[in-house]
A and B are shown apart, each in its own frame.
Chain A
């Protein structure tokens, strides 16, 4: 893990919701990386933005369905 303290602070602040977002983001990014890898010119920052936005959408969708 790159910085456990950073993650620890994040978890204390956002709890389960934050961890869900991070795990969903990791899932989407790993999948997108596998799909994009054959192509050149991958913009890491843009990929992070897109994956995080989609992960947040999924999280909100999950929240709505449980409400």
Chain B
């Protein structure tokens, strides 16, 4: 029986028979005739495809809703109201401070609200000068929150944001 036919038969019986296509034969060190098969390509291996589930980014609305559900937000909103009212009441004085600051620098502000307050506030003169004006109106427990809020308001509010606020107020 030819060797190839023998291997074909063996293939039907045993699972040890090489699965690939037999392209020839060789003699091993013990003198046995062995089949030469094509290397199985890697494509033979099953490719696992994992389903990709897109993780949605938290939307900005959800972020702001999350912010509003935080525990100390009610106190901070109250502080925001008190701060806004204090700023309004003292606005003329605050505007004067800014004029003095622009014209005469720190010395001008010192003349307006007192040297000690200015020397304590040299790092962030604008924020602390305004805080010195309005802190009398804000309860002590809320002053640290008010300071952070005032700093943010003063240092980051932009013309575009003021214009946006105007739009929202005009809508009614």
Contact = CB atoms under 8 A, between A and B. Distances in A.
Contacts of A2: 157-159
A19 B63 contact: no
B107 to A, nearest CB: 19
Interface in A46-60: 46-56, 58
Interface residues of A, number: 47
Contacts of A11: 88, 91
Nearest to A19: B84
Interface of B: 57-58, 60-61, 63-64, 66-68, 70, 73, 76-77, 80-81, 83-85, 87-88, 91, 95, 98, 126, 148-149, 152-162, 164-166, 168-169
Given A11-B88, A31-B67, A32-B67, A22 B165 contact: yes
Given A16-B88, A20-B81, A24-B77, A46 B159 contact: no
A67 interface: no
Interface of A: 1-4, 6-8, 10-11, 13-32, 35-36, 39, 41, 43, 46-56, 58, 62
Chain B interface secondary structure, helix, strand, loop or mixed?
A: helix
B88 A35 contact: no
A26 B152 contact: yes
Contacts of A4: 95, 98
A19 B157 CA distance: 12
A56 B126 CA distance: 27
Given A10-B162, A16-B88, A20-B81, A52 B168 contact: yes
Given A52-B165, A53-B168, A54-B68, A26 B156 contact: yes
Contacts of A54: 64, 68
Contacts of B156: 26, 29
Contacts of B76: 27
